[in-house]
Structure 1
Amino acid sequence: MAASLHKKTGNKLAYEAIGSSGGIKKIKENATDFGASDAPMSTADLKKFNLLDFPTVISGAVPIINLPGIKDGELRLTADLVIGMYSGKIEKWNDPAIIKENPKLALPNLRIVPLARADGSGTTFTLTDYFSRVNPEWKQQYGNNFIIPWHADVKTIKGSADLVAMLKKTPRAIGYAEYAYVLENNLNYAQLKNRDGQYVHPNALSFKSALTNSNWRNSGNFEEMLTDKPGSGSWPITGATYVYVPRVTSQPERTAAVLQFFTWTFIEGDEIANSLDYIRLPDNVQARVVHEISKVVDTTGKRLSVPVLLK
């Protein structure tokens, strides 16, 4: 999207993939033009740091595996199985609980190597939000956050790209990443049993089902997490990507360029988003986002002028 807009306006976007916590820290310190994450910022922090957040697209967090003899998307897992792997309760790939869900697979007698993000990660936030909703013990012991005090057996890696690289060279491993990484790196992934008891694959249809079964379409309330939504076809770890910008900016031209970019992506970015199985925001949510963006002002209280770009 940035490359497409550069051709149109000449503006360049320099994006650092430093993890959610890094982006949030920078935008709170006014050290960057915008931050991004897979989680909405708390109301208290938005007020404290005078920031605005809004969603951009819908996707999902996905369990990824490197397991010899198992084809892509063939393994079936439940939330409790994944939680068991990350809490040290399930140690072998041929554990009876895993075999029960996969009776036709020849699961190897290999020790599981769970991989997780070491840095502050929105994907970790989405994953552990799901864990906390479906497993009270996980919620009490670990909770949901950008950084988790993982079990001692979990190997932590900084950044999604490095986690994916580690998974590729570590047979027996399980990790997690946003779905775009699965597509771009041709990764093996697991099906998940959802709230309705159905096994589903991660893809545009299952993300859209979770969105459809949320309150986003009815209320435009994009603060609601999209994890563990009902619907036979819903992916249980669906989430949105969020952007944070200042409500009052000391650099109006730069902030206006950022808002112009994201407004343009809502209008013209569907084709690019669809190519990676991202789901566009519902019209009422987009309308609310545009309304919120229009409230951004400079230090004199004057609303920013954000020209709309069309084809």
Structure 2
Amino acid sequence: MSLKRVFKQSALRVAMIGVISGAALGAAGLAEAGSVSILETGSSLLYPLFNLWQPVYTKENPGVQLTTASTGSGTGQAQSMQGLAQIGASDAYLSGAQMKQHPSMLNIPMAISSQMVNYNVPGLNGDHLKLSGPVLADIYAGKVTMWNDPAIAKMNPGVKLPAHKIVAIHRTDGSGDTFIFTQYLSDSTPWWSDKYSYGTSVSWAPVQGNIGAVGNPGMVDALKNNPYSVAYIGVSFKKQIMDDHLGEARIENKAGHFVLPEIRNVKAAAAAMVPKTPADQRISLIFAPGAESYPIINYEYALVDSHQPSAEMSAALKKLLSWAISSNGGNAEHFMKSVNFVALPPSVVKQSTAQIDKIHA
């Protein structure tokens, strides 16, 4: 399916979905529901978007108290499954084992994001160094330890790389960013898949000098404060990376091209993968085919229990989530641009709407 077909379908189709959902929610008498408190917690990559949504949505819906918290995708997953939070924000969908234990959980895409690979190499932060999955795997496994290693030099001809040790920074909390980064390493590097695999937490190689950090803010701080370091960071923190004058790498995609996480490259990858999205929307968008495809993109998920304790909570969640995925609401261009996300294409809006409709008391 072409990029144009996936992302530029009629605005009328999206509008009709919004009208249908709005009518259904109106029929539920949500306006009369009274005050409802909703807790969203989890992904530090998705948090900036929820944080932008919160004041806008609560102003329009004064009967809803929406609290947002950046705790990491692992916590978002756990607290939503345990019923401690109404919405678990996660860059990672729930695993088959988790769904078997909690079959009433829904994995609902809110937007499409990407992940940067950033570095702090004095004198080279403006050059967009090229890095590949196999080289990043070697760096995080302690096999490539110097910036002027022949494997890095080969990808960056003409660049004077420093003879300095690489400081690899990883997340220590349960993280969807770790999930998608290690998924890219697994998909591009077979030995990594065999030895480390992927997940919200992995057993990192014990490499002397490497650093652990909590959340995307912690990753940015660690990168800024440690020259010659490298880190994987969610694209919603791109402004901080730019403000701190840190480097952003071109990453090798499945076609062997080195690309940046620019919107057109994220859309190219999404166009290749979105048509494969199943009804339950649990899918990896990593390492998409295509010459322009950026290799580390993903759905940002709201994890919600389909069975809610009251009709009021059920109706409030359905209204909030329907607003969040609407092009006239949370998926509006100004929200997406603020966090460098891509809005859901109409086909995914339709699937997410079908999932939201499953929420009940």
Normalised TM-score (structure 1): 0.91
Alpha-carbon distance between aligned partners in 1 of 2:69 and 2:217, rounded to the nearest angstrom:
13
- Any idea what SS the aligned residue of 2:116 has? strand
- Within the candidate set 265, 272, 278, 1:213 is matched to 272
Deviation (angstroms), 1:220? 5.4
Q: Does residue 3 in structure 1 map to residue 25 in structure 2?
A: no
How is 1:1-311 mapped onto 2 (pairs within 5 angstroms)?
Answer: 1-10=53-62, 11-49=64-102, 50-72=104-126, 74-153=128-207, 154-186=210-242, 187-214=246-273, 216-217=274-275, 222-267=281-326, 268-269=329-330, 270-271=332-333, 272-298=335-361
Q: Contact 1:59–1:240 at 8 Å: present in 2 too?
A: yes
Per-residue displacement from partner, 1:92-150 (whole Å, max 9, x unpaired)? Answer: 00111111111121111110000000010001001111111111110111010100110
Deviation (angstroms), 1:182? 2.0
Structure 1 stretch 156-165 or stretch 142-151: which is displaced more?
156-165
- Any idea what SS the aligned residue of 1:240 has? strand
Alpha-carbon distance between aligned partners in 1 of 2:297 and 2:155, rounded to the nearest angstrom:
22
Write out the 4+ residue segments of structure 1 that deviate beyond 6 Å after TM superposition: none
Alpha-carbon distance between aligned partners in 2 of 1:41 and 1:219, rounded to the nearest angstrom:
15
Q: Contact 1:84–1:90 at 8 Å: present in 2 too?
A: yes
Alpha-carbon distance between aligned partners in 1 of 2:105 and 2:272, rounded to the nearest angstrom:
29
Deviation (angstroms), 1:85? 0.6
Matched to 2:271, the amino acid is T
Alpha-carbon distance between aligned partners in 2 of 1:70 and 1:184, rounded to the nearest angstrom:
18
Q: Contact 1:92–1:112 at 8 Å: present in 2 too?
A: yes
Q: Contact 2:179–2:199 at 8 Å: present in 1 too?
A: yes
Structure 1 stretch 165-174 or stretch 252-261: which is displaced more?
252-261
- Any idea what SS the aligned residue of 2:287 has? coil
> Where in structure 2 are there 5+ consecutive unaligned residues?
1-52
Q: Contact 2:141–2:205 at 8 Å: present in 1 too?
A: yes
Structure 1 stretch 144-153 or stretch 273-282: which is displaced more?
273-282
Q: Contact 1:73–1:201 at 8 Å: present in 2 too?
A: no
> Where in structure 1 are there 5+ consecutive unaligned residues?
299-311
Alpha-carbon distance between aligned partners in 2 of 1:176 and 1:219, rounded to the nearest angstrom:
25
- Any idea what SS the aligned residue of 1:16 has? strand
Q: If each structure's helix is expressed as a fraction of its own residues, which one has the higher value?
A: 2
Give the number of aligned pairs. 297
Matched to 1:64, the amino acid is N
Q: Contact 1:220–1:284 at 8 Å: present in 2 too?
A: no
Q: Contact 1:38–1:122 at 8 Å: present in 2 too?
A: yes
Q: Contact 2:220–2:240 at 8 Å: present in 1 too?
A: no
Alpha-carbon distance between aligned partners in 2 of 1:160 and 1:24, rounded to the nearest angstrom:
17
Deviation (angstroms), 1:8? 0.7
Aligned residues: percent identity? 29
RMSD, matched Cα: 1.6
- Any idea what SS the aligned residue of 1:13 has? strand
